Amino acid sequence: MKNLKMSKMKASTKIPTVCVQGLGFVGAAMATAVALSKNENGKFRYNVIGVELPTKEGQRRVDCINRGEFPLTTVDEDLALAIKTGSEDGNLAATTDQTVYQNAQFVIIDVALDISITEDDPRIDFSVLEDAVRTIGRSMRQDALVVVETTVAPGTCEHVIVPILQEEFKKRGLPTASIQIAHSYERVMPGKEYLDSIINYWRVYSGYTTESAKSCRRFLETIINTKEFPLTELSTIAASETAKIIENSYRATNIAFIDEWTKFSEKIGIDLYEVIRAIAIRPTHSNIRYPGVGVGGYCLTKDPIFAPAAAAQIFDLKGLSFPFVGLTKDINQRMPCHVVDRLEEAMGNSLRGKEVLICGVSYRPDIGDSRFSPSETLVWELKIRGANVLLNDPVVGYWEELEIRVDEKMPERKVDGVILAVAHSVYRDCQMLDWLQRNATVIVDAVDLLSAEQRYQLKAQGLSVNSIGRGSDI
């Protein structure tokens, strides 16, 4: 098996093998979590093999895991230690060999399912997922359990994945009735508790058949701390798929809802953060969101759109409308423009020729993931208005989507404007405040990074300090 250090796998060959297809932000962490699992005697439960495509990036991720390094930027020390330990102990490895599924009793699918977030009539691109499933079907054991962890549109497992596996089984002369497939979506939160969000968090699951559901439950119970975080089984696999889409749609809508109150609060001169903290004391409203730059990341930006797309592409339903989905998408895509509006207003209603520093290009604090980051909209909007844009991020050294380098150190010169776009932990230390005092003129804090005392201190030195969700004098 090329690229796979099977000779270093010290764990017993008698224990089951788990293949994790796709070593991105979910798959790489899931592979690590599975490798940690031990039985009551303290012995490894599984040999874990991460599988990637034979591309340059795929090979890089494989090489990282085989060196005991997490292949993506992380600040989670437990995750970094766990992958190092798994590699050293010999029950975690990676490969680009696509035939390795023939050895697996369990296969976890963690590949992307893409959909356009800008088109008026978005279409789901099933091609990557279809190719991935077909690859598994060509060599997997007939008694293996396939767990779809990827966020998919409702109906995908039953109408896309199962038919492909059935087709491949027929080609191999295997009984299609033996196919076991389940859906159990992840709730991974990259950051300081990255690994914890897999092991110590609630899970929803469902099986295509009764036996698939039972197998999935037994498997998940060996990975997840189900004593403290019980599993929830849904009656159909489509219900599990839908749960994930509603979950993320709800959060995206919650964020969009705050947009109009952000602008209202700024106009009448109140502090919306103060207001929301008062509301959040009420248990029924504890998850109300705060003002910010907007929605980013691979999930909240696209997942709500799966519902109308699935209605049309998978179920051929006509006449259904999703007004909240459409409104949420439009509002969240425009939110970064309001941040630029505040900066432009504070700089005399013109950004032409001004040098503006964006602090933070990842989509959330302390992670190296810049996919669909609202900072990308900030960049384009600033450039449209004639500004010269500088970038800083202590976690993202290279912005893959824009194909540009990002400075990890703050520039040692004055700039006309600063947008605090991501609340990275390092931005909260005193060095950031010192830098702003020396080098900034106009500041827009879009993520509640500065305390009331810090805002007062900066204003006392003559700087223009503006907060998204607060009146100008706060």
Is residue 157 within 8 Å of residue 130, measured between CB atoms? no
Structure tokens at 258: 């705050």
Structure tokens at 385: 């208005």
pLDDT band at 278 (very low <50, low <70, confident <90, very high): very high
pLDDT digits (tens, 9 = 90+) for 152-180: 999 999 999 999 999 999 999 999 999 99
Backbone phi, psi, residue 146, to 5°: -100, 120
> Around Cβ 417, how many Cβ atoms within 10 Å?
25
Answer yes or no: is pLDDT of 449 > 70.
yes
pLDDT of residue 9: 56
pLDDT of residue 181: 98
Q: Quick one: average pLDDT of 440-463?
A: 96
Answer yes or no: is pLDDT of 471 > 70.
yes
CA distances from 230 to 199, 221, 225 (A): 11, 9, 8
Q: At what angle do helices 127-139 and 162-171 cross, to 10 degrees?
A: 40
> Is 90 exposed, middle or buried, given 0-12, 13-18 or 19+ CB atoms closer than 10 A?
middle
pLDDT of residue 307: 94
pLDDT of residue 13: 64
The yes-or-no answer to whether 6-241 and 270-467 have a common fold is: yes
CA angle 311, 312, 317 (to 5 degrees): 65
**Where are the chain's structural domains?**
6-241, 270-467
Sheet harboring 47-51: ordered strands across? 92-95, 47-51, 17-21, 106-109, 145-148, 180-183, 203-207, 231-233
State the chain's maximal CA–CA distance in angstroms: 78
Answer yes or no: is pLDDT of 123 > 80.
yes
Is beta strand 203-207 parallel, antiparallel or unpaired with respect to 180-183? antiparallel
> In 3D, which of 137, 139, 146 has the Cα closest to residue 107?
146
Query: Residue 177 contacts by C-beta under 8 Å, 6 or more apart in sequence?
Result: none
Tell me the HSE value of 354 on the side-chain side, using a 13 A CA sphere: 24
Is beta strand 355-359 parallel, antiparallel or unpaired with respect to 417-420? parallel
CATH of domain 270-467: 3.40.50.720
Element (H, E) at 375: helix 374-384
pLDDT band at 8 (very low <50, low <70, confident <90, very high): low
Q: Quick one: average pLDDT of 449-464?
A: 96
Q: CA-CA distance, 394 to 388, in Å (whole number)? A: 20
pLDDT of residue 7: 47
pLDDT digits (tens, 9 = 90+) for 331-369: 999 999 999 999 999 999 999 999 999 999 999 999 889
Query: Residue 7 contacts by C-beta under 8 Å, 6 or more apart in sequence?
Result: none
pTM attached to this predicted model: 0.91
Own/partner contacts of 215-219, CB < 8 Å, gap of 24 or more, are 215/145, 215/180, 215/182, 216/145, 216/147, 216/182, 216/184, 219/106, 219/145, 219/147
Residues listed for the chain: 474
Which residue in this structure is represented by tokens 């031990």? 38
Q: CA-CA distance, 469 to 338, in Å (whole number)? A: 11
Is beta strand 114-115 parallel, antiparallel or unpaired with respect to 124-125? antiparallel
Answer yes or no: is pLDDT of 1 > 80.
no
CATH of domain 6-241: 3.40.50.720
3-state class (DSSP) for residue 159: helix
Which residue in this structure is represented by tokens 């405040």? 433
pLDDT digits (tens, 9 = 90+) for 405-417: 999 999 999 999 9
Answer yes or no: is pLDDT of 184 > 70.
yes
